[in-house]
Structure 1
Amino acid sequence: MLFDFYELLLTDKQQTFLKYYFHDDYSLGEIAAEFDISRQAVYESVKRAEAVLESYESKLHLLAKHEAAKAWLAKLDSLADSLTDHMELSLQLRRIAQGLREPEES
């Protein structure tokens, strides 16, 4: 998930290697063969990229904030579901939750 948040902050080579390795399930050897480099070079590049991603997260906390927002939205949904006697309030809570999930275009 860190890759999804910080992908564009990586070098092109790091992006490519991580996509092949994590998204496409290529082995280190397959990536090495594709780029005509050593398996060790691919391994080091992947490990370095992972460290960079973790460093970005430790500073920016985008993934943590995303996960927290999802948890709060689930609580908001649950609260809206429980307000069967207060339909207008329930509807307003659902609209708020939807607005947080899909912000309007500016």
Structure 2
Amino acid sequence: MDIKKTNEINLLYNFYHSLLTSKQEKYMNLYYVEDFSLGEIAEQLGVSRQAVLDNIHRSVGSLEKFERELSLVEKTQEIDNVASELSKVVRENYADDKQLLDLVKRISKINEM
């Protein structure tokens, strides 16, 4: 799997992991967070490598479905983009307005939580 796809799945996992079943959560955590191999997960959980792979594929499908339905990643990225643009405009045109600068900082920090 390429790094771009792995990063995308990690981002989806960060947003939606609590919506997965406990079994899906365990498999995804071991594979994507703890960086265990399929064989290591299979050995630890007492299942076949194929069972691990199937569960991970189903879990990734669930994460992608959550994003299609909820769009939280997309919305968060858009908020980041708008906050960045707004910050630039405020710094360039309203650098003396402390209240406006503080509001922009608050908007930028929303997605950091």
TM-score, length-normalised on structure 2?
Answer: 0.81
Which of the pair has more CA radius of gyration?
A: 1
When the two chains are superposed, the root-mean-square deviation of aligned CA atoms in Å is 1.6
Structure 1 runs (4+) deviating above 6 angstroms are none
Gaps of 5+ in 2: 1-10
What is the rounded CA distance, in whole Å, between the counterparts of 1:73 and 1:99 in structure 2? 9
SS of residue in 1 equivalent to 2:79 = helix
Matched residue, 1:87: 96
User: How far did 1:81 drift?
Assistant: 2.0
SS of residue in 1 equivalent to 2:105 = helix
Q: 1:44 aligns with which of 54, 57, 61?
A: 54
What is the rounded CA distance, in whole Å, between the counterparts of 1:14 and 1:40 in structure 2? 15
Matched residue, 1:66: 76
What is the rounded CA distance, in whole Å, between the counterparts of 1:69 and 1:102 in structure 2? 9
Q: 1:35 aligns with which of 19, 42, 45?
A: 45
Say yes or no: does 1:16 pair with 2:47.
no
Q: Tell me if structure 2 keeps the 8 A contact 1:2–1:54.
A: yes
Could you give the per-residue CA deviations for residues 26-58 of structure 1, whole angstroms, max 9, x where no partner exists? 111110010010000000000000000000100
Partner amino acid, structure 1, of 2:14: D
What is the rounded CA distance, in whole Å, between the counterparts of 2:24 and 2:43 in structure 1? 16
Could you give the per-residue CA deviations for residues 67-106 of structure 1, whole angstroms, max 9, x where no partner exists? 001111111111122126x512xx2332222222249xxx
Matched residue, 2:85: 75
TM-score, length-normalised on structure 1?
Answer: 0.86
Gaps of 5+ in 1: none
